[in-house]
Amino acid sequence: MKKDIAIVAYQCKKCGKLHYPFHDRCLSCKGREFDQIKPQGNARLLTFTRIYNLPWGFDQRYLTLGIAEFENGIKAMGQIKADETTALQVGMMMEPSWEPVRVHAGEEVYGLKFAPLS
Amino acid sequence: MRDVAIIGAGMIPFGRRDEDTLIEMLAYASLKALDDAGLGDKTVDAVYLGNMGGGIIQHQTSIASSLVDRLNLLPAAAETVENGPASGGSAVKNGLLAVASGYYDFVLVVGGEKMREVTGWRATDFVATMTHPEVEYPYGITLPGMAGMFTRLYMEKYGVTREHLLAVSIKNQEMGTLNPYAHVEMALDREGIFDSPHAVVNNPTAADPLHLYDMCPVSDGAAAIVLCPLEMAKKLPKPPVLIAGFGQATDTHTLQERSDPTDLKAVTLSAQKAFEMAKLKPSDIHVAELHDAFTILEIAESEHVGFFKKGEGGKAAASGKTRLGGQIPINLSGGLKARGHPVGATGVAQVVDLTWQLRHELPKNRQVKNAQNGFSINFGGFGNNVVAFVLRRVEQ
């Protein structure tokens, strides 16, 4: 079963600016009260990279990562489900999912993944 | 506030230093700076030590306390300053303010890092600990990865090409062959890393669109300076180098929250503050050390600090304007790309190299003739905490 995307963004009650991750004071007006907002729909790829020198904890040849913007304006980093033959382009639409992104101390850590929509 | 001068500068060769501990490297660089300052057996009032990873890599804390004990600088005040890859720049700033305030007269600033003690896998993870712990780090993002995402956007917006990045790699590694303190003393052959079919093997993609030779190495190393009030420095034999201006600025922790991720606001602001304090402008600078952890950063910083207009930095590098004898020589030390990047040492090493430039002590093949004003950028995080300095030669 597909898991809910467990990220929450914070919209300033005073000026409406959207934040992800959380800040104690709004980055625009310094307001301290926020509404919690869930990401909606698919996401547009803003930038991406494929790295071949991975950090400790990742036992694989490469990792594709990107930042994408959801339909309601939330921007977030995630892993991209694409092999080396997949042609990625800035601006393409991605389907988000909530899946294991690494293993830490024997436990799976969940996070955002994006799959290119053809 | 008092004017503050650099009266001593020292560095040990960067690279892989298996034979030395972190404290030994810091001690060797400190002794070189103290001897250069001609302080003899006198102590200093305070020590500021730039280091990012001693607690993680060496499992050692209170490093500054350990250093003053080893050097017998007791009972000098001592503390470690941590600001990611800008730890060195922040340590210099703390030393500057301590002397400028009138509280201390003689201050030792030293920066160092020992990164080759662990595998590349561990070192990459250590550097990645500066990314956001909840929304970036868990995904496996690395600093080269951040640079790759930034480069893609910068290329699209400003027309930077791989040719432009290559010009930075070739220039800085060429300068590294002339610098006895450089980690990488190997000139690059354009054909071997770009034009020939072998380039795919010799210079593979590291963090798309960046390649292996767009990256700085992982290094061990240390560098140090001694500061005192300018009026006292004028009585010493070597020409004092005035810290004429400094600036520091921060930006959002994550790249995704910047309205324009190609805009390195903290670089622009820190540079503006440094130039304003020094009452100088970018065109007054004769030599610069920029934080080229990735080739794209030398280009982007050269634009953000005002040496070139946005979109002109890559072309300037490719046309030789940033070489010795060009409009504004950048990274004649080889920069992070060739001198190396022991993260806590870098900000201090940049100031050491500029001090040697402004004292006119370098060999002709690296010395800017009659250089009077120098400039540095030490880039912390992915541009979220940046320290800039303007240095000026003072004639006695």
pLDDT-based confidence at residue B24 (cuts at 50, 70, 90): very high
pTM (2 decimals)? 0.97
**A77 in B contact zone (CB under 8 Å):** yes
> Which residue, chain included where needed, has tokens 């072309």?
B315
Q: Supply the pLDDT for residue A2.
A: 82
CA-CA distance, B18 to B20, in Å (whole number)? 6
pLDDT digits (tens, 9 = 90+) for B207-246: 999 999 999 999 999 999 999 999 999 999 899 999 999 9
Q: Supply the pLDDT for residue A23.
A: 98
**B38-61 mean pLDDT:** 94
How open is the CA angle B117-B122-B124, to the nearest 5 degrees?
Answer: 110
Q: Supply the pLDDT for residue B40.
A: 78
**B43-60 mean pLDDT:** 97
CA-CA distance, B15 to B116, in Å (whole number)? 8
**B359-388 mean pLDDT:** 98
**B208 in A contact zone (CB under 8 Å):** yes
pLDDT-based confidence at residue B396 (cuts at 50, 70, 90): confident
pLDDT digits (tens, 9 = 90+) for B88-142: 999 999 999 999 999 999 999 999 999 999 999 999 999 999 999 999 999 999 9
Of B125, B132, B139, the CB nearest to A21: B132
Q: Count of alpha carbons within 13 Å of B94, Cβ hemisphere only?
A: 24
**B385 pLDDT above the threshold of 90:** yes
pLDDT-based confidence at residue B344 (cuts at 50, 70, 90): very high
Residues of B in contact with A49 (CB under 8 A): 145, 148-149, 152, 207-210
Residues of A in contact with B130 (CB under 8 A): none
Higher-confidence residue: B259 or B42? B259
Q: Supply the pLDDT for residue B73.
A: 96
Q: Supply the pLDDT for residue A118.
A: 72
Q: Which residue of B has its CA nearest to A108?
A: B138
> In sequence order, what are the residues at sequence separation of 6 or more whose Cβ sits closer than 8 angstroms to the Cβ of residue A42?
A70, A71, A93, A94, A95, A96, A117
Residue B324's nearest CA partner among B134, B129, B179 is B179
Q: What is the mean pLDDT of each run of 10 residues along chain A (118 residues)?
A: 91 98 98 98 98 93 97 98 92 97 94 94
The pLDDT > 70 percentage for chain B reads: 100
**B53 in A contact zone (CB under 8 Å):** no
**B7 pLDDT above the threshold of 90:** yes
Residue B280's nearest CA partner among B243, B228, B323, B325 is B243
pLDDT digits (tens, 9 = 90+) for B181-207: 999 999 999 999 999 999 999 999 999
**B29-36 mean pLDDT:** 97
Residues of B in contact with A112 (CB under 8 A): 139
**B284 pLDDT above the threshold of 80:** yes
Rounded to a whole number of angstroms, the distance from the CA of B251 to the nearest CA of chain A is 11
**B255-260 mean pLDDT:** 96
Provide the ipTM: 0.97
Indicate the average pLDDT of chain B: 97
When scoring A12, A53, A89 by the number of chain B Cβ atoms within 10 A, the one with the most, hence best to mutate, is A53
Residues of A in contact with B212 (CB under 8 A): none
Rounded to a whole number of angstroms, the distance from the CA of B288 to the nearest CA of chain A is 30
> In sequence order, what are the residues at sequence separation of 6 or more whose Cβ sits closer than 8 angstroms to the Cβ of residue A20?
A7, A8, A9, A10, A74, A75, A76, B135, B256, B257
**B285-302 mean pLDDT:** 98
**B47-65 mean pLDDT:** 97
Q: Which residues of A61-85 are buried (b: 16+ CB within 10 A; e: fewer)?
A: eebbbbbbbbeeebbbbbbbebeee
CA-CA distance, B248 to B271, in Å (whole number)? 8
